[in-house]
């Protein structure tokens, strides 16, 4: 397992999967170890995936300063990884909360990004959070599922702040709730640094006007990929995020939730590899 040293001396780990040109993949959670990404539905057959464990997660060290878990401060770690890999410019993919980190990196280091892929990213860095109404509208699309009748009232109460998160809600985050999805979800608690997650998007992490202004000058092509059944982001919110980026295109994966590579690996890998090969996407 290769490691490198962050600017503040924290020892950070990354994992390599697959073969081909490197693709740096920033995990979400926030602050979930990169193991949950697997090989992104077979994307490792086309690209060499570079999967960092963000500080305090997975095999990476816990930093001396807990404030360094904040999303904007993690940009320095991403830049240190680029230097470690010896890449002049890199293809970068961010999933979920990792997409905010990817956007902040692209805003600060636009010349270091060759192509950017944002997978089911709630664009908080752009000042576009998913709302409770967004999540409820997406949840209602699952009304025919056998677990819906029990789960939906709990989901409403959770979004209203009237009760804690319940395991009954987990199926809403997957387009296909099966044994593979259940096993994937079961690992989340042990793979996530909850203390770090609380800091990740804390006050000062995001400056949407500054980020929007910086990304308006980004010349790299961008693919924004949303899941049809995802509530954070909904396809509509993903399209709003893509509209901020001058060379972005949004695609919506049918029947997919927040982890689209699990729902239809072939659809997911075909679109992402086509974009990375050409910098644009033929068809939607």
Q: Give pLDDT tens digits for 40-98.
A: 999 999 999 999 999 999 999 999 999 999 999 999 999 999 999 999 999 999 999 99
Nearest residue to 101 via CA among 117, 78, 80, 81: 78
pLDDT digits (tens, 9 = 90+) for 174-194: 999 999 999 999 999 999 999
Q: Quick one: pLDDT at residue 281? A: 39
SS3 content of the chain, % helix, strand, coil (to 5): 45, 15, 40
Nearest-5° angle of CA 71, CA 61, CA 52?
60
Nearest residue to 148 via CA among 164, 168, 166: 168
Rounded Cα distance, 136 and 140, in Å: 6
Q: Quick one: pLDDT at residue 282? A: 33
Sequence-ordered list of residues with C-beta below 8 angstroms from that of 144, at least 6 positions apart, any chain: none
Count of all residues that appear for the chain in the document: 284
Nearest-5° angle of CA 195, CA 37, CA 146?
90
Burial class (CB in 10 A: 0-12, 13-18, 19+), 238: buried
Q: Quick one: pLDDT at residue 278? A: 85
Q: Is the pTM of this model over 0.85?
A: yes
Q: Quick one: pLDDT at residue 279? A: 55
List the chain residues with pLDDT less than 50.
280-284
Q: Which residues pair with 253 in a beta bridge?
A: 227
Q: Quick one: pLDDT at residue 205? A: 98
Token readout for 11 is 């020892």
Helix axes 98-108, 71-85, angle to 10 degrees: 70
Nearest residue to 27 via CA among 17, 15, 35: 35
Beta strands 90-95; 11-17: pairing state: unpaired
Tokens 């677990």 sit at which residue?
Answer: 147
SS3 state at 119: strand
Q: Specify whether the CB–CB gap between 245 and 94 falls below 8 A.
A: no
């Amino acid at each position: 397992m290769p490691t490198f040293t962050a600017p503040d001396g924290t020892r950070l780990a990354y994992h390599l999967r697959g073969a081909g040109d490197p693709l740096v993949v920033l995990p979400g959670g926030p602050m979930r170890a990169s193991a949950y990404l697997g090989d992104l539905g077979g994307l490792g057959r086309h690209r060499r995936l570079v999967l960092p464990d963000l500080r305090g997660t997975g095999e990476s060290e816990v930093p001396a300063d807990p404030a360094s878990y904040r999303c904007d401060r993690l940009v320095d770690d991403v830049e240190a990884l680029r230097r470690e890999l010896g890449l002049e410019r890199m293809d970068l993919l961010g999933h979920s909360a990792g997409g905010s980190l990817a956007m902040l990196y692209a805003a600060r280091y636009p010349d270091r990004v060759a192509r950017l892929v944002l997978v089911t990213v709630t664009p908080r860095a752009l000042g576009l959070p998913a709302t409770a109404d967004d999540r409820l509208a997406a949840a209602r699309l699952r009304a025919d599922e056998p677990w819906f009748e029990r789960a939906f009232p709990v989901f409403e109460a959770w979004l209203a702040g009237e009760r804690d998160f319940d395991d009954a809600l987990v199926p809403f985050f997957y387009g296909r709730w099966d044994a593979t999805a259940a096993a994937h979800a079961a690992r989340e608690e042990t793979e996530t640094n909850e203390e770090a997650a609380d800091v990740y998007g804390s006050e000062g992490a995001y400056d949407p006007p500054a980020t929007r202004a910086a990304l308006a000058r980004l010349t790299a092509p961008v693919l924004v990929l949303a899941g049809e059944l995802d509530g954070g982001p909904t396809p509509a919110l993903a399209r709003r995020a893509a509209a901020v980026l001058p060379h972005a295109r949004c695609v919506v994966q049918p029947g997919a939730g927040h982890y689209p590579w699990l729902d239809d690996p072939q659809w997911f890998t075909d679109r992402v590899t086509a974009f990375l090969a050409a910098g644009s996407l033929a068809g939607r």
